[in-house]
Amino acid sequence: MGEMRPQPRVWRLVLGFVAAPWPLAALYAWWAQAVAVKGSTTSVLTYFAATSLVAYVPVLLFGLPLHFGLRHHLRPRLAWMALFGAGIALVGGLLFILLILLGGHAGGITVRLDLPPGSGAPTRAAQPFPFLAALVAVGFFGALGALSGFVFWLVVVCGDRRLASLA
pLDDT digits (tens, 9 = 90+) for 79-101: 888 999 999 888 877 777 676 66
Phi, psi for residue 110 in degrees, rounded to 5: -100, 130
Q: Strand, helix or coil at 32?
A: helix
Is the distance from CB of 19 to CB of 155 less than 8 angstroms? yes
How is the chain split into domains, by residue range?
10-164
pLDDT digit string, tens, across residues 14-49: 998 999 888 888 887 777 777 656 666 677 788 788
CA distances from residue 73 to 22, 48, 69, 77, 88 in whole angstroms, order as listed: 27, 34, 8, 12, 19
